[in-house]
Amino acid sequence: MAGVLLCLTALMMCCDLSTDSSQLIPESLIISSFQESLQMVSAALNGSAHGRLYPQTSPSQMYTLSRQGSSETQHICRSAEIFHMTLGLLKEKASRRQRRSLAVSELLSVKAVEWIANLSGCPQPFQPSTCATGGKYRSISGVCNNRKNPLWGSANTGLARWIPAEYEDGESQPKGWTAGRRYSGFPLPLVREVSNKIMRGSSELVLEDELYSQMLVDWGQYIDHDISFTPQSSSQTAFSEGLDCLKTCTNANPCFPILIPEDDKLSRNKSCLPFFRSTPSCLTVQREQMNSVSSFIDASTVYGHSADLENTLRNLSGSEGLLAVNERHTDEGRALLPFVSARSACLQGPGSQRVECFAAGDSRVNEILPLSVLHTLWVREHNRLARRLTRLNPHWGSEVIYQETRRIIGALHQIITMRDYVPKIIGRAAFDEHIGPYEGYDDSVNPSVSNVFATAAFRFGHVTISPLLARLNRSFQEHERFPSLSLHQTFFSPWRLVQQGGLDPVLRGLLGRPAVLQNQDHLMTKELTERLVVLNIPESVDLAALNLQRGRDHGLPGYNEWRVFCGLGRVETRSELAEVVGSDVVAEKVMDVYGHPNSMDVWLGGVLERPVSGARTGELFSCLIGKQMKTLREGDRFWWEHAGVFSPKQRQELQRHSLSRVICDNSGVTEVPLDPFRAHTYPEDFLSCGNIPSLDLEEWKEQPDDY
């Protein structure tokens, strides 16, 4: 506390507000409110951490530890909570005194807000002069990618807003926070009601996608984790009221519970499901959420997004620039990911041998087996390429080999995503309209991931998740020893890769089984609406309800506002809605639940739309995904096609590489389709790995005098 008081004194001396005519709240009240906020947030966070350390702690509570960001992210999240708590207290006190509702912007000057941010410990603005003028390699956090705006796209900064947020109080309270409030003349439906009446549909029939494989679905999730991760509050306790978010059905930050309708047969007499709000970002008066990873397609899933995390993932003892691998187990001689350093929350298989969670560049690596497989595949590919570069250029040294390999791996992530994945998702016509040919780096383009993309549009794939994970043998038939698994059996289970056949059976399942095709009569499997494991919640939860609640938490405007943003017509009537979604029955359900399309949550509207020709998304999500991918490409100074990043011959070689070749080079799978995202029949549509083009690293060979 003495340190805090010393800090306060210093800040008061340098930030005198007494001469600021726009300042309506005295310094003394700001200081006392800050101290009150500091005490409440610290107590809630400390209490939550203490509750997770008991030996018999359930996986639900332990998961918070496994999903935490870097130490830098945790510090910024704590500071942001204190900052917004202070603003909220000042607003509440002033409104009581004035006997009317007041906005923070009416009460505090810009200078006062900056002062509160400093008190709270929010990071200082990053100045362009700090960026190095040279620099061959991108920073691990993404900072200084844009030299004029160093924080654009970097880790631990706010998500971009393409249109203004909509909060019930204009600043922070999500839609649904205030009971009885009406939208377009109708009460806002509970998200669980929307899930029950619209997402589940009337059939359990799962349709197979005739065009695309399961790999398309899982690559989407993997690349999503490369570009966005919005941390949720790590406090299990309400900051002001002291309520337990796992038990209360009261809205009290950060608790925003999902209320359960009375006629919900699956509730087991519960009134709500726990839900934690996303951590706000610093400095903005209107609540904004944070992206804790870099927005760039830079393989941060492999390398991390902070210097500390990056160092824990590297093998710093050798001279080959390798990444660390598991020291206890292998997959028939091939590397597995290292384990986390502490006892973890991951589920355990039969027997006494304990298998911890895997460690990777992204903490969500253990959430589902295909994610763990793709993470492992790319660590193997890094080490394979690094060893070859070491033989080609022994004079480079460990650091140069590591950075050159990292640059290649990042480029491959970009190529596979933009060339092979995105056109299949949004359709070639939308790709040409919203993305088009590459025209070079543009430093006026902000590449930061937008809130609507991370929270709604790129969650389109949730309606294409299969209820079954296939595990196949060498003949691409059901594996004799390791049969296919229900989806919920794959959550947080790295032990299955260690003890049940490694990567190969899962990889064959991703390549050899079709994706699920969106079905208006069955939009989401029960595996996701009734059996989803989210380990900071002590029961199964509903992914559809979580997505809808998260959109409201983030203040996302409704479906029609985003259609206007994309230049599409508003949907005002039942008949117009039926035309857009391609189903009279679904349109009727939406109107019955929401009352008016204006009130419809953007995620729901987006996934209900009839896919455009040659795509797996409707016209709204095709637009939003296309616009985001264009900014990620045009706003990245290190994009693989940008002049000077690679030589022309190196770019030619990179284009020859593919995800199928990566699988061939880093697994026991010996037959693959040329395009791993397309649905294929074995054996006629599969090729021997000897017939799959390979990357020739000779173009990276340099003489010592050339470097």
Mean pLDDT, the chain, whole residue set: 89
Q: What is the pLDDT of residues 182-228, one digit of tens each?
A: 998 999 999 999 998 998 755 567 788 999 999 999 999 999 999 99
Residue written as tokens 């691409």? 476
Report the range of poorest mean pLDDT among 40-44, 495-499, 539-543: 539-543
Q: Report yes or no on 63 lying in a domain.
A: yes
Distance CA 573, CA 579 (A): 10
pLDDT of residue 202: 53
Number of domains in the chain: 1
Q: In the chain, pLDDT over 70 holds for what percent of residues?
A: 89
pLDDT of residue 13: 38
Burial 342-365 (b: 16+ CB within 10 A, else e): eebbbbeeeeeeebbbbbbbbbbb
pLDDT level of residue 283 (50, 70, 90 thresholds)? confident
Q: How many CB atoms lie within 10 A of CB 275?
A: 24
Q: Is the pLDDT of residue 442 over 60?
A: yes
For the segment 133-142, the average pLDDT, to the nearest whole number, is: 90
Which domain range does residue 46 map to?
A: 2-124
Q: What is the pLDDT of residues 230-268, one digit of tens each?
A: 999 888 899 988 899 989 999 999 999 999 998 786 556
pLDDT of residue 364: 93
pLDDT of residue 518: 79
Q: Is the pLDDT of residue 46 over 50?
A: yes
Distance CA 661, CA 675 (A): 10
**Region at 471 (left for phi over 0; alpha for psi -120 to 50; beta for the rest):** beta
Q: Report yes or no on 641 lying in a domain.
A: no
Residue bearing the bigger pLDDT, 564 or 342: 564
Distance CA 76, CA 71 (A): 9
Q: Report yes or no on 33 lying in a domain.
A: yes
Provide the residue type at 622 as one letter. S
Report the range of poorest mean pLDDT among 169-183, 256-270, 305-319: 256-270
Per the annotation, the verdict on 225 as an active-site residue is yes
pLDDT of residue 1: 41
Q: Is the pLDDT of residue 97 over 50?
A: yes
State residue 489 phi and psi, 5-degree precision: -80, -10
Report the range of poorest mean pLDDT among 64-78, 89-103, 583-597: 64-78
Q: Report yes or no on 44 lying in a domain.
A: yes
pLDDT of residue 8: 44
In the structure encoding, which two tokens stand for residue 686, read together?
């599969």
As a whole number of Å, the CA-based R_g of the chain is 25
Secondary structure (3-state) at 18: coil
Residue written as tokens 């800050």? 34
Residue 597, CA atoms < 13 Å, CB-side half-sphere: 25
Q: Report yes or no on 89 lying in a domain.
A: yes
Residue written as tokens 């021997």? 688
pLDDT of residue 58: 41
pLDDT level of residue 705 (50, 70, 90 thresholds)? low
For residues 28, 33, 35 and 41, what is the CA-based torsion angle, rounded to 10 degrees? Answer: -170
Q: Report yes or no on 76 lying in a domain.
A: yes
pLDDT of residue 524: 74
Q: Report yes or no on 71 lying in a domain.
A: yes
For the segment 92-99, the average pLDDT, to the nearest whole number, is: 85
Q: Is the pLDDT of residue 127 over 60?
A: yes
Residue 659 CB burial class (10 angstroms; 0-12, 13-18, ≥19): buried
Q: Report yes or no on 557 lying in a domain.
A: no
Q: What is the DSSP letter of 542?
A: -
For the segment 608-631, the average pLDDT, to the nearest whole number, is: 96
pLDDT of residue 103: 87
Residue 462 marked in a binding site: yes
pLDDT of residue 15: 52
Residue 278, CA atoms < 13 Å, CB-side half-sphere: 28
For the segment 430-438, the average pLDDT, to the nearest whole number, is: 97
CB of 483 within 8 A of CB of 164?
A: no
Distance CA 431, CA 425 (A): 9
Instruction: Choose the catalytic residue: 225, 413, 554, 657.
Output: 225
CB of 541 within 8 A of CB of 488?
A: no
